[in-house]
Amino acid sequence: MKLLIVTQAVDTEDPVLGFFVRWIGEFAKHVERIEVICLREGEHDLPVNVRVHSLGKIEGSRQKAVGSRIRYTFRFLSLVWRLRHNYDAVLVHMNEEYILIAGWLWKLLGKRVYLWRNHYAGSWLTDSAAAFCTKVFCTSKHSYTARYTKTVLMPVGVDTERFYTDARIVREPHSILFLSRMSPSKRPEMLIDALAELAREGQIFTASFVGSPLPRDEAYYEGLKEKVRSLSLADHISFYPGIPNSQTPYLYRTHEIFVNASPSGMLDKTLFEAAACGCRVLAASKDFADIVGGEASFSDVHELAELLGPTLVGRAAGRQTKFVEYNSLTALAERLFATLTAV
């Protein structure tokens, strides 16, 4: 089988999408060759049967000019056509826009199209893109795309070769980690408000908020920092910029508790990475609650504060790893290609 993958970035140093380089490497074990079209190419070390084609976006550029988007569109369609003999099927990662641009061409070429999209939000554009697809993949039954009859639920895809517990690394007592892109959809303010309740109760803790905002969310991010100052939590809470996915295992291993406040429908991969590294995970996702039980889930600030209270005073970390194996990258690749080849 020959596969075309379309994604935003192929860069191990990307704080959000760095993990996808390992996904491509794992996928390459199952196919003859992979062609990758990405908006931006950075650092990577991929197998010899993988070729990467960049549309040429420069890191840090905001890509607001209509002219730039038109150029990217024509480059994309040109590559789709030029590489047409080098792939049998197409896997589009997250961005439905690529299918809306090239779906008609893939249909004319007789290529099977698959979309990976896991998010609680969607629209008629998502529906239009899905109409071109043979199958749609997601990990959450609360994802917008879970509604389609053609959707297949997939493992999350944790690289267990890198994410595992390491007894040599000492965890900081009463430490909490929030690792995510800093955006309203990730709801970091829920944790800040819960920590304010704990501080009023005299609880001892430190919290690290690790992640950077998109340009459109910079004001929101500054507002989070101001909120921490106004609540007199600056001695407890620290903010750090986003880091490459390759550096996150150390963060998980040095913190006792990992908090994820993303709504149901996203099922962030960080939940499973943290658990694999031995963190005690608390999450707002109903999917996560279905997997590990309701004792680790919350729906509002007060519930999160109540969960953190007993956790901070001595509840051991590292008891949520039983579901990691099913959600490993190996399990994902095997299930994905079983579906792609079942034609």
Domain segments of the chain as ranges: 2-157+328-340, 175-312
Structure pTM?
0.86
- How many CA atoms lie less than 13 Å away from 261 in the CB half-sphere? 23
Q: Are 151 and 124 in contact (CB under 8 A)?
A: no
SS3 of residue 143 by DSSP: coil
Those residues with Cβ within 8 angstroms of residue 222's Cβ, 6 or more apart along the chain or in another chain? none
Has residue 92 got a pLDDT over 80? yes
Fold of 175-312: Rossmann fold (3.40.50)
Q: Does the fold of domain 175-312 match that of domain 2-157+328-340?
A: yes
pLDDT score of 309: 86
What's the rounded Cα separation, in Å, for the pair 189 and 227?
9
Rounded to whole angstroms, the Cα distance separating 225 from 239 reads 8
Q: Is the domain 2-157+328-340 a CATH 3.40.50.2000 member?
A: yes
Measured distance CA(265)–CA(142) in Å, rounded: 4
Phi and psi at 234, nearest 5°, equal: -60, -25
Q: Which residues is 170 bridged to in the sheet? A: none
**Shortest CA distance to 272 belongs to which of 311, 315, 325?**
325
Residue with tokens 């150029």, as numbered in its chain? 71
Position 163 confidence tier, pLDDT thresholds 50, 70, 90: very high
State the pLDDT confidence band at 70, using cuts at 50, 70 and 90. Answer: confident
pLDDT tens per residue, range 257-303: 999 999 888 888 899 999 899 899 999 988 888 877 667 889 999 99
